[in-house]
Amino acid sequence: MNAVVAAVNLREHKRDAVKEACNLIGGIEDIDVPEREVAIKVGVFSPVIGSYSTVETVEGIIRAFARSPKKYLVETDNYQGTATDRLKVWESLFSDRVVPVNLSEETETIPVRIPNPIKDVTIDLAKLVIKPRVFVDTHVMRAYDRGSILKNLFGLPPTSKKVQYHKSEIFFNVLTSLYEAIGGVDLAVLDATYYSYSFKGKDARTRTDTLFVGRDAVAVEAIGLHLAGINPHKAQVIQSFVERGFGIGDLDKIEVVGVPMDRLEANFKEARTELEAEMAQKPDPWSASKAVSALVKSGYFTFPNKRTMQDIMTALIEADPRTKKRDKMIYSTVRRRFENGKLQGEKTDSDWLYWTN
């Protein structure tokens, strides 16, 4: 059995892009019904970063579910802030029928067991995202081997300290277990209004004006990874879901309708080339560790020189103005070097002094 993924040009269809994509995959009449509410899992790590589905795309999803009585835009807290604050990205869409929900504040939950080689863990999952509600998953396209659409499920655990699930031995079990618990993704919307690329701490994005929509979230993710230059057959996120029978990740078994696949491959190859060239021109990201190491290597700390923290900050700012307002990071780095024996130090009446032999 094959999966179908629609690719729609946003410049051509604009506000009707989601509806057009749904028509191309055979419609959503079976899930857009008056008896079922819709939970739309948006992905917004930080409003400042801007890596989230556009207001236009989310509005298109809302309009596509015209018969559904109520749509919930759902997200959980993270270390960047509360879901309540982050959901304000789509505040212009809020109404009596479009309601933002902070899943971290939901009290009606069910326990979901996550297999773990060391010890199984349990996540309290909000009932609001579980069947019979329709679950729509939307995120942006990016060059990230852990995915976008399927990775977006990582935003369902209510805790803001999700780093505990990031380790590879449990990460993919978290995603597949949550997918199973919610009863699967009913509609996946991969928003490639922009295509984002990250490498060695550098980030860039370019406008690609494409929307990918499908009923098989694994297939949608696989197409997105392929166009981002990542082999879905080798991506663990795809294989983890395929092994559990949750979708199709084989490109030969995925039919792309709408924009032809050869045109998509050419467009996104050009976009990748453009972004790689742009990032090659960018300076390496600022690093407190690298900044202090450069000072050490230059002989700045060599005895009999003894440097105060103010001396160090002044020297670092002269070398790279990006050091400004990063006093705490520099202080922590210097103290770690001292505690590890890589810097010598002594406390005077007025300040600490640091040097190397």
Helices 309-319 + 327-339 axis angle, to 10? 120
Q: What is the pLDDT of residues 251-262, one digit of tens each?
A: 999 999 999 999
Burial class (CB in 10 A: 0-12, 13-18, 19+), 56: middle
Span 111-136, average pLDDT: 94
Q: What is the pLDDT of residues 79-103, one digit of tens each?
A: 889 999 999 999 999 999 999 999 9
In the prediction, which pLDDT does 311 show? 96
Alpha carbon distance 177, 112 (integer Å): 7
Domain boundaries, the chain: 3-280, 288-355
pLDDT band at 49, cuts 50/70/90?
A: confident
- CB-side exposure of 28: number of CA atoms within 13 Å? 31
Taking CA atoms, 26 is separated from 3, 6, 29, 310, in Å, by: 12, 10, 9, 66
In the prediction, which pLDDT does 159 show? 92
Taking CA atoms, 177 is separated from 12, 216, 346, in Å, by: 38, 17, 53
In the prediction, which pLDDT does 220 show? 98
pLDDT band at 292, cuts 50/70/90?
A: very high
Q: Exposed e or buried b for every residue in 306-337, given b needs 16+ CB within 10 A?
A: bbebebbbebbbeeeeebeebeebbeebbeeb
Q: pLDDT at residue 27 above 90?
A: yes
Domains 3-280 and 288-355 in one fold: no
Give this prediction's pTM: 0.84
Q: pLDDT at residue 281 above 90?
A: no
Q: pLDDT at residue 295 above 80?
A: yes
In the prediction, which pLDDT does 80 show? 87
Provide, rounded to the nearest whole percent, the portion of the chain with pLDDT above 70. 99
Q: Which of 324, 313, 292, 311 is nearest to 350 (CA)?
A: 311
Contacts of 34 (CB under 8 A, 6+ apart): 67, 68, 69
In the prediction, which pLDDT does 189 show? 98
Residue 31 — φ and ψ, nearest 5°? -110, -15
Q: Which helix (H) or strand (E) holds 141?
A: strand 134-142
What's the chain's average pLDDT? Answer: 94
| Domain covering 288-355 in this structure, CATH number | 1.10.10
Q: pLDDT at residue 182 above 80?
A: yes
Taking CA atoms, 352 is separated from 43, 298, 330, in Å, by: 45, 21, 14
Task: Fill in the amino acid letter for 341.
Answer: G
Question: Topology of 3-280 in CATH?
Answer: Rossmann fold (3.40.50)
Taking CA atoms, 66 is separated from 59, 71, 128, 333, in Å, by: 11, 10, 20, 55
Q: What is the pLDDT of residues 197-211, one digit of tens each?
A: 877 777 888 999 999
Taking CA atoms, 271 is separated from 60, 102, 117, 220, 314, in Å, by: 25, 35, 40, 19, 41
Alpha carbon distance 262, 305 (integer Å): 63
